[in-house]
Structure 1
Amino acid sequence: MSVEIFDSLVRLTMVGSVAILVVLALRGVLRRMFGAQLAYASWSLVPAMTAVMLLPAPTRPIESFDGVAHIAAAASAAQVPIPEAFDLRPLLMSAWLLGALVTAAAFALQQRSYLRGLGRLKPFDGVRIVQSESDLGGPALVGAWLPRIVLPADFGLRYTDAERELILAHERVHLRRGDAWINAIVAAVRCLNWFNPLLHYAAVKFRFDQELACDAAVIARFPEARRRYAGAMLKVQLAGQSRQELRLPVGCQWPSNQNLKERILMLKQPRPRRAMRVAGLSLLAGATSFFAYAAWASQSPRPGTVVTDDGAPQVEVNLRVDAGGKRGKPLRLIQSLGKSFEIADDDGAGAYRAQFTTSAATADSITLEGSIRSGDRILSTPNLVLKPGEPFSFVLNDGPQGPAIVRIEGTLAFAGKTPPREEGDRPSTEAADVEATYRSMTNPPIYPLEAAKNRVEGTVFVAAAIAADGSVQDAQVDHVVPETSAAALGEAAVTSVKSWTFNPARRNGQATTGKVVVPVEFFLHEADVRRVPNGGPGAPDTVFIAADRKD
């Protein structure tokens, strides 16, 4: 899970950074042409571009012909073992989480320091406007859950009546627009992206644009008060309210002295005409839609859907193939029951081809049968009975001592209408009894070196007790043919079967404990494998192990 979260974090960080760069490049032009409020609104591009990355990726078509969907595997299985490589992502995920907690703690300390500096708060004009004991405590909008306008202790002495009216109008604009909530979200995003200096820089510019937009709203209401408003700004800055040690992470605080000149210059600009403001909003909406769509379309496309509608019940197949040491991408198709589909890699000497057929064992289960080959060599012949939506997986190994070269996992589910019940069928809670079947064979048997050296062959029948959850409770040798091979081959077969997972037996539709006998065939020569038939109906497929293999 942490790996998927880390991958999503990297993707969102990259897209968010691109969006920030776009806004930083355009905000000045937008402010001059359409006003400060539109420049502030342009920051909506950042959440818009990142949010669309959480939507399903675009699809690409899967080729289909003659009732078979051919899907190229995501990676080659050219007889290259999948290495147990060290994955840094879980470690980086832990570092990310630690950094996020440290950053959140730092912001919490800043907020607490600011609140403690306010001293005792007393009502000024209702419950939403209070006055602090400190001359440095405001004006500001503090908090997010129940934000309050905080005024300094000398508010009535420092400012004239007209200036007080403008300052309160400024803070009420923040309160009405929900800027305190927005800044709390920005602080949370900064915690999650503590490692991204571009985001911290953008947060400073964002809050400045927020203040300019608020100034513009006040001037639009009091167009004759530009000079008085500039004087109020200067008094706030001279009082030291925006000193570095008084930073307010969650709330709205007047910007630092470094931005005072730019704020005053903005007051001198005439308000854009209504037509220009409407044009600016239209342009921003179009640009946001364009960049959001471009971000969504830039994702790696997921396979599309193949649908064959011939009136037969259909099944949805979701698979992922890991091969050649690489993690594959999900594959998805929908087709009629009883038809075949293939997963193939035709590249090089290590080419493999897997053909599968789905059928309905009952109205509440799906059978997946297949044959996986590399050239003329059989790698596996899976035969699984699955509940719709139940995950399955199996692993193909490369030779008697080789690790896995291909891992296939996925789910099956009915798409649209389910198979019709025959007259007299019992309901799903009373489905026909079924025996245990393979689900996940993650540790294939390894041909014992000593047995191969002594040219020992045989079939080991492993009796396994299967729990209701599909795990193997116990496994031991039932019998061996010929009996002389028991000591050489029995332990290898039992050790492997104990690590497998089964689809449990079902009685009256309910999973229950059961027993199954797994035949494991050990051959010295791979050519002999193809002359051995599969198990009979209802019996687990035979597992074939060959001491030699074709390169």
Structure 2
Amino acid sequence: MSALFEATLRLSVVLLPAVIASLLLKSRSAALRHWVLAVAVLCAWTIPFLSNVLPELPAPARATWGGREAPHQDLSQTRWRVIEPRQDGQVFAEFSLAAVSAAADASPRATPIVRGVWLTGSLLSGLILLVGLGRLRWLASRAREIDRGHWFEIGHELRDTYRISCPVRLLQSTHPALLVTWGWRRPKIMLPAAAQEWTTDRIRIVLAHELAHIARGDWAAQLAAEALRSVLWFNPLLWMTCRRLRIESELACDDEVLARGVEGHEYATHLLALARSLNPGRRSWVAAPAMARPSSLEGRVHAMLNTVTNRRSVSTPARVLTTATLLALTILAAGLFAQTLFYSFTGTAFDQTNRLLPGTTVTLTNTSSKAKYEVQTDATGKFEFVGLPPAQYKLETSRAGFGALSEEIRISGNTKRDLRLKVGSLQETLTITDGSVDGYVSVRPDPPVAIRRAQAQLKFAEFAAQAKARCAAGAPGPVGGNILPPAKLLDVKPVYPEHLRLAKIGGVVQMEAVIGSDGTVLDVPVVTGPHPELESAAVDAVRQWLFSPTLLNCEPIPVNMKVSVMFASAQ
């Protein structure tokens, strides 16, 4: 759930200043306030994309005292309060990221519950939005298109005054209370059933208001905000943003109507008459703005009758300044601000038999800043890194007798991961020179291989009995890492082919063998070799080797072995 916490934190960096600015700009025009909110919503949608494409910035240095990190402020405890004035009093929207942070750090039992609640809310919110869009499509398919007459002529005239280049469809439905506008590339205005009986003045006012929505792109901005709220529905800041967007868009469109010569009292009279005739009791929710919404009616009428209200459109300098400011905040939220978050990486180290591995060194290296973090697992095999900035890390482990684990890991939230280490591989190196091995003549009169193998098998049985007796003295507990390495019981030397020795053909044969749990060599693949016959001679010898069992926590296990045979001809 840390991803939700991070998304909420980043989004709040952009939306919170925009909401506060819209509340402080009461003396400015509604068009400017709506522009600020709309740009903030669009910037919020770009944060996930920018987070992936922006270069990762180095994390700020953490202070230390006596070799330990100094305490730092937990940003999740910061609280914000936004006060929204309304006709019935002030609405306080106070929220803290601590609740989301707690969800991110919740216990394993609580985390699925929190995730399920969030997913259920998101699916329900998204479903409501899709149902609203589907209902608009369904109503449009059953509505009658108006392509001539008074409505069409006035609409065509006003569309030219708004400089709307795309075609606008006028639709009349049989619904008695539906007056909405939606669409972007092919916008539509849906009129109620009684619209044909309206006067010319009312037709002009209604179309001027609805075409203002189209010219300003209000539907797209509102839909983007609603979609964002459906994902992060638990954030009260998004609910406030959606509400403010809807109110400011209606006020801005009212200002556009008044700017075309309509008197405020005349407009208010028509608006109140529409609110009564559109029968609020039969209205249903659709994903589009409605002109006579009762919840915002009082504030709109008050603004219409206020002769000192600022009704100017948004100037180009104001648009540029607003966009630049919010874009800077967006980049800050997507890049630098993410670096102020610190996460933990925890887990447990196990061996091949799923037993705990205490005393294992675990190292994380930041691939960007090269900062290195190192801990050791405790008596129960657990390890914990704290204060990790989000970044790409190289994970490495080290423990005597075990192979090193090395891989890349991305830390972008509180991460829990268990590590499983395998027993390290053996290393055998032989040098053969002119028929001798490490100074000893390989053609010395050794007993036949069959006799030596029988002797080795007796030694194997003796080793196995001794190991069984030691393990019987105390049953293995939960702590592992107890390795009994193998001992070579039968050693067969490679033979240097005579014709290759005389031809001074030599080189190194590299092999990777597997010693089975019964001590026999199971497989001997050749990695590199200078000559097929030299490779065959080395493989034939290694296949005959016999080892005592390799025990891990009193359990026989297979183990890898690297073998290097050097055939060196005399110069």
| TM-score of the two chains, using structure 1 as the length reference | 0.52
Residue identity in the other structure for 1:149 = I
Structure 1 residue 121: deviation in Å?
A: 1.8
Q: Deviations over 1:208-246 (max 9, x none)?
A: 1111122223333x04543332222222212235x3752
Residue identity in the other structure for 1:124 = I
Mapped partners of 1:330, 1:302: distance in 2: 18
Structure 1 residue 392: deviation in Å?
A: 7.1
Structure 2 residue 288 is matched with structure 1 residue 259: no
Residue identity in the other structure for 2:208 = A
Query: 2:413 is matched with which residue?
Result: none
Residues 331/164 of structure 1: CA separation in 2 closer, same or farther (3 Å cut): same
Residues 112/45 of structure 1: CA separation in 2 closer, same or farther (3 Å cut): closer
Query: 2:24 is matched with which residue?
Result: 29
Query: 2:125 is matched with which residue?
Result: 103
Mapped partners of 2:23, 2:341: distance in 1: 38
Query: 2:352 is matched with which residue?
Result: none
Structure 2 residue 33 is matched with structure 1 residue 39: yes
Residue identity in the other structure for 2:57 = T
* 8 Å Cα contact 1:119-1:134 kept in structure 2: no
Query: 1:16 is matched with which residue?
Result: 11
Q: Deviations over 1:509-545 (max 9, x none)?
A: xxxxxx999x9854899xxxxxx9983459xxxxxxx
Structure 1 residue 280: deviation in Å?
A: 3.9
Query: 2:325 is matched with which residue?
Result: 287
Mapped partners of 1:137, 1:130: distance in 2: 11
Mapped partners of 1:25, 1:49: distance in 2: 16
Query: Structure 1 vs Structure 2: percent identity of aligned residues?
Result: 17
Mapped partners of 1:239, 1:213: distance in 2: 23
Q: Deviations over 1:451-492 (max 9, x none)?
A: 64459944299xxxxxxxxxxxxx9973645x8xxxxxx9xx
Query: 1:467 is matched with which residue?
Result: none
The structure 1 residue matched to 2:562, chosen from 527, 531, 535, is 535
Stretches of structure 2 lacking an aligned partner (at least 5 in a row): 62-68, 70-106, 153-167, 350-361, 383-393, 410-416, 423-466, 475-482, 489-512, 529-538, 566-571
RMSD: 5.5
Mapped partners of 1:20, 1:244: distance in 2: 34
Residue identity in the other structure for 1:141 = T
Mapped partners of 1:209, 1:123: distance in 2: 30
Q: Deviations over 1:102-141 (max 9, x none)?
A: 2333344556667778995212236700112233222x21
Residues 28/322 of structure 1: CA separation in 2 closer, same or farther (3 Å cut): closer
Query: 1:189 is matched with which residue?
Result: 228
Mapped partners of 1:534, 1:277: distance in 2: 76
* 8 Å Cα contact 1:372-1:379 kept in structure 2: no
Residue identity in the other structure for 2:124 = V
Mapped partners of 1:114, 1:197: distance in 2: 27
* 8 Å Cα contact 1:36-1:209 kept in structure 2: yes
Structure 2 residue 57 is matched with structure 1 residue 59: yes
* 8 Å Cα contact 2:365-2:395 kept in structure 1: no
Residues 537/89 of structure 1: CA separation in 2 closer, same or farther (3 Å cut): farther
* 8 Å Cα contact 2:403-2:421 kept in structure 1: no
Q: How does 1:304-453 map to 2 (within 5 A)?
A: 322-323=345-346, 331-333=366-368, 343-345=372-374, 373=398, 377=400, 379-381=402-404, 452-453=471-472
Residues 145/476 of structure 1: CA separation in 2 closer, same or farther (3 Å cut): farther
Query: 1:173 is matched with which residue?
Result: 212
Mapped partners of 2:235, 2:254: distance in 1: 30
Query: 1:200 is matched with which residue?
Result: 239
Structure 1 residue 380: deviation in Å?
A: 3.4
Q: Deviations over 1:369-404 (max 9, x none)?
A: 999546xx565346x8xxxxxx779xxxxxxxxx95
Query: 1:133 is matched with which residue?
Result: 174
* 8 Å Cα contact 1:179-1:251 kept in structure 2: no
Structure 2 residue 161 is matched with structure 1 residue 161: no
Mapped partners of 2:395, 2:31: distance in 1: 63
Query: 1:122 is matched with which residue?
Result: 144
Structure 1 residue 164: deviation in Å?
A: 1.2
Residues 107/522 of structure 1: CA separation in 2 closer, same or farther (3 Å cut): same
Structure 1 residue 16: deviation in Å?
A: 2.8
Structure 1 residue 149: deviation in Å?
A: 0.5
* 8 Å Cα contact 1:130-1:150 kept in structure 2: yes
Residues 451/183 of structure 1: CA separation in 2 closer, same or farther (3 Å cut): farther
Larger Rg: 2
* 8 Å Cα contact 2:395-2:408 kept in structure 1: no
- Where 1:213 maps in the other structure, the secondary structure is helix
Mapped partners of 1:201, 1:128: distance in 2: 32
Mapped partners of 2:227, 2:313: distance in 1: 37
Residue identity in the other structure for 2:338 = Q
Query: 1:465 is matched with which residue?
Result: none
Residues 266/41 of structure 1: CA separation in 2 closer, same or farther (3 Å cut): same
Structure 1 residue 207: deviation in Å?
A: 0.9
Residue identity in the other structure for 2:30 = A
| TM-score of the two chains, using structure 2 as the length reference | 0.50
Mapped partners of 1:20, 1:166: distance in 2: 33
Residue identity in the other structure for 2:10 = V
Residue identity in the other structure for 2:169 = R
Q: Deviations over 1:418-472 (max 9, x none)?
A: xxxxxxxxxxxxxxxxxxxxxxxxxxxxxx99864459944299xxxxxxxxxxx
Residues 299/253 of structure 1: CA separation in 2 closer, same or farther (3 Å cut): same
Residues 329/228 of structure 1: CA separation in 2 closer, same or farther (3 Å cut): farther
Structure 1 residue 38: deviation in Å?
A: 0.7
* 8 Å Cα contact 1:31-1:38 kept in structure 2: no
The structure 2 residue matched to 1:248, chosen from 268, 273, 285, is 285
The structure 2 residue matched to 1:459, chosen from 470, 486, 492, is 486
* 8 Å Cα contact 2:41-2:225 kept in structure 1: no
Mapped partners of 2:321, 2:553: distance in 1: 73
Mapped partners of 2:281, 2:514: distance in 1: 72
The structure 2 residue matched to 1:217, chosen from 237, 243, 256, is 256
Structure 1 residue 283: deviation in Å?
A: 4.5
Equivalent pairs counted in the alignment come to: 369
Residues 293/333 of structure 1: CA separation in 2 closer, same or farther (3 Å cut): closer
Structure 1 residue 41: deviation in Å?
A: 0.8
Residues 273/240 of structure 1: CA separation in 2 closer, same or farther (3 Å cut): closer
* 8 Å Cα contact 1:324-1:406 kept in structure 2: no
Mapped partners of 1:38, 1:196: distance in 2: 24
Mapped partners of 2:14, 2:338: distance in 1: 15
- Where 1:129 maps in the other structure, the secondary structure is strand
Residue identity in the other structure for 1:295 = A
Residue identity in the other structure for 1:535 = K
Mapped partners of 1:404, 1:13: distance in 2: 29
- Where 2:241 maps in the other structure, the secondary structure is helix
